[in-house]
Amino acid sequence: MGPSSAPRRLSGMQKQVLSLYRGFLRAARTKSAEDRQRIESIVSIEFRRNAKEVDRKNFLYIEYLLRRGKKQLDQLRSPDIVGLSATNVSFSQTKAPTH
């Protein structure tokens, strides 16, 4: 009996984000066990990172991320797709050729 940790009224956009997250987790359930773990970890890292970094009022960017996420979810749902993977690309300062 204490204050609930979840917010009381979710806005339409927050509901969409949560349903997208749920959709990803449900799609992950249909894949094999190790792929399911990888998908869940990638998706949850991405969602939590964006939740921290993106401003709540930046509707334009949130809608762009939602649209991109929906497309990726549609791809993931197809039975031909086996799993997700993510690579980290770091930009190193390369010197220009000196000739």
Partner 1 sequence: MVTGLIRRAIASAASSGSTAAASFRYVCVRAMASEAQAQQVDLKARDKTDIKTFSIYRWNPDNPKKPELKEYEIDLKECGPMVLDALIKIKNEMDPTLTFRRSCREGICGSCAMNIDGCNGLACLTKIAPSEAGASMITPLPHMFVIKDLVVDMTNFYNQYKSIEPWLKRKTPAAELDGKEIKQSKKDRSKLDGMYECILCACCSTSCPSYWWNPESYLGPAALLHANRWISDSRDEYTKERLDAVNDEFKLYRCHTILNCARACPKGLNPGKQIQHIKQLQLKP
Residue ranges that bind partner 1, judged by CB under 8 A? 54, 58, 60-61, 63-64, 67, 71
Give the C-alpha distances (Å, rounded to integers) separating 99 from 5, 94, 95, 96: 62, 15, 12, 9
Containing 28, the helix (H) or strand (E) segment is helix 12-29
Q: How far is the CB of 5 from partner 1 (least distance, A)?
A: 28
User: Whole-number minimum distance, CB 32 to partner 1, in Å?
Assistant: 29
- Report, in Å, the least distance between residue 65 CB and partner 1: 8
Which residue lies nearer to partner 1 by CB, 5 or 90? 90
Of the pair 48, 71, the CB lying nearest partner 1 is at: 71
d(CA 84, CA 72): 10
Residue with Cβ nearer partner 1 (19 or 59): 59
* Distance in Å, CB of 47 to partner 1, minimum: 17
Question: Is 55 strand, coil or helix?
Answer: coil
Within 13 Å of residue 8, how many CA atoms lie on the same side as its CB? 1
